[in-house]
A and B are shown apart, each in its own frame.
Chain A
Amino acid sequence: MTDATGSTAATANTAATSAQRRALPPVDHTPLRRRRMRAAWVQFACILISLFMALPIVLVGLSALSSRAALAEFPKSLLPSELSTETLQAFLQATGTFPAFGNSLLVGLYTVFWSLVVGAPAGYALARYAFRGKEPYQVFILLVRALPIVVLSVPLATMFLQFGVYDTVFAVTLVHTVLALPTTVLITASIFVSVPHDVEEAAQIFGCTRWQAARKVVLPLALPGLAASSIFTFVLSWNEILGATVVTLGHRTLPAQVLTSLAEASQAYRFAGGFALILPALLFIFVMRRYLVNMWGTTLR
């Protein structure tokens, strides 16, 4: 640029920018406001749903700590008028509660392990392969949950007696693993379907065998699905009553030992027992939820 045109251009520029600066339109706050409103509505909806989900549990917890007299008043107040751990203590100290607790824990963890070992490969097969018999297989897997287990109780118990594994944690693990198979297989299948095929193929191109590709690439990506199905399996096993009652006698799980009598106990014991039963499952979900919400690398803290 020559000096003459440059200087005129420069002065013209400064004149233009100062004019622009004077005539800047006001900052439009509407998009920001809209975003803030949206965030507020989202938060409000979340709070509403959280209240709905959590309130009954809180009520049970508070009632479990109330004295029997406080429970008999009407209208019941939200906060207990009299606190007492008497019923909770009586419940926890009853014969067999702690061993049953241990049994339930063992059965729950074993069932999670075995259902993943048996179910996840089946889910992978359902997701990755197209084969005849896919739909019949899916219906077959569902059969065991579709039939009320009560009509199977006598034949099932007879079978375990004949195999000599009656009344053991092993027997209950077997029953629960089979009951957990539908959820495990179907959920892992739906997750493996969503894992992109090209990543797996890329790994194979880079020298992995099919198994290595599955283990190193697909499995970590499918972690939310595996976590979801392990949560279901543990909770199902923890809460399952009838199957456990039918195959055990002296080595019972907690629901078989306690849960059935809760409905007949007085209200105070119902709350105490119900609350004590809920806590460990809540704890398990608390531990596993981090694996569930794994949004592409960033974990929710």
Chain B
Amino acid sequence: MRSVLRSPWLLLTPSIVLLLVLFGWPLVDGVLEAFTDEHGFTLTHWQRLFDDPYFLDALRNTLLLIVIVVPVQLVLAVAMSLLVQARPRFVSGHFYLWCIPLAISELAAGLVWLSIFDNRGYLNSLLVSLGLSEHGVQWLSYDNTATMLLTVVLAEIWRATSLVFVIVVAGVQMVPREYDEAAQVFGASFWQRLRHVTLPMLKPSLQVALILRTILALQAFAVAQALTGRDFPLLVGETYEWYVGLQNPAVASAVALVVLAISVGTAVLYLRTVRSPSEAES
């Protein structure tokens, strides 16, 4: 029988209490909205949601964005952490520059990249002044889905890689150098060391980074909205549209529940599959 002081729940209680008090009722209320109207339990809101032409596109786009962006960011962040580990010259300057996009809000990042990809933006200015194009390319045109996806992916990678990078770099420093050096002494090549020494020890950080980045990526819509308007609909953008534009909180809650389900699903997936050795034992 463990004493109360030895139990973890004492340490966990403040967070649980805070969450329940502040968000408990609003959460339940919001969820119930999606399933009820004045007459009681109903699925009409879900019916309306699925009839809407934008919903399935939004679902597809959101999943596509995550599948493309998250792995790229993970690989990029690990590469950046290893570069920092190699301690080149000016490493503190580089490090600071790589953390800069953290400070930018989604809305501001969308506006920044809009000024680059706009028809009269910086990218087209560069192309025109170099003579590579006469009037610039229409990067954000609604019938050009490939370039739309490209611009949104690029902007998202820019905005959020720093998040994954900061988490991974904090974890990379926890990897004792002795292990890596020992592997070097035993003749392991760079890739072998990466696969068998560094990455396994990074598992806790990678797991956290994956979970957080995926959940936040599901919430991202301000950047895509700034760049493409409603030509590239995303799930949370649709939530806003139903709540604010159409003043229909019930259908908005339904979309929010879809987002919640996907988030929780992927979180549970990561928690189960990306397990660090010590956790696996317990």
Q: Is B71 an interface residue (CB 8 A)?
A: no
Which of A11-19, A24-32, A271-279 interfaces with chain B?
A271-279
Residue of B nearest to A182 (CB): B212
* Min C-beta distance of B197 to chain A, whole Å: 14
Bound form: Cα–Cα A301–B92 in Å:
6
Cβ of A282 and Cβ of B86 under 8 Å apart? no
* B240: contacting residue among A150, A195, A232, CB under 8 A: A150
Q: Is B239 an interface residue (CB 8 A)?
A: yes
- Enumerate chain B residues within 8 angstroms of A185, measured Cβ to Cβ: 15
- Enumerate chain A residues within 8 angstroms of B205, measured Cβ to Cβ: 190, 194
Cβ of B243 and Cβ of A150 under 8 Å apart? yes
> Could you write out 26 A-B pairs with CB less than 8 Å apart?
A38-B86, A43-B90, A53-B162, A54-B100, A74-B125, A75-B124, A75-B126, A76-B120, A137-B12, A141-B15, A143-B19, A145-B215, A147-B256, A148-B240, A155-B26, A186-B208, A193-B276, A194-B171, A231-B99, A235-B102, A239-B104, A239-B108, A241-B105, A263-B226, A293-B169, A296-B173
Q: Which residues of B contact A (CB under 8 A)?
A: 5, 7-9, 11-12, 14-16, 18-19, 22-23, 25-27, 29-30, 33, 79-80, 83-84, 86-108, 111-113, 115-116, 120-122, 124-126, 128-129, 158, 162-163, 166-167, 169-171, 173-175, 177, 201, 204-205, 207-208, 211-212, 215-216, 218-219, 226, 236, 239-240, 243-244, 249, 252-253, 255-256, 259-260, 263-264, 267-268, 271, 276, 278-279, 282
Q: Which residues of A contact B (CB under 8 A)?
A: 38-39, 42-43, 45-47, 49-50, 52-54, 56-57, 59-60, 63, 74-78, 117-119, 121-122, 124-126, 128-131, 135, 137-148, 150-152, 154-156, 159, 174-175, 177-178, 181-183, 185-187, 189-191, 193-195, 210, 224-225, 227-228, 231-232, 235, 238-241, 255, 259-260, 262-263, 267, 270-271, 274, 277-278, 281-282, 284-286, 289, 292-296, 300-301
**A-B interface, 10 closest residue pairs, ranked by CB to CB distance from nearest:** A239-B105, A130-B282, A281-B103, A146-B263, A75-B125, A194-B174, A155-B26, A125-B8, A190-B204, A125-B11
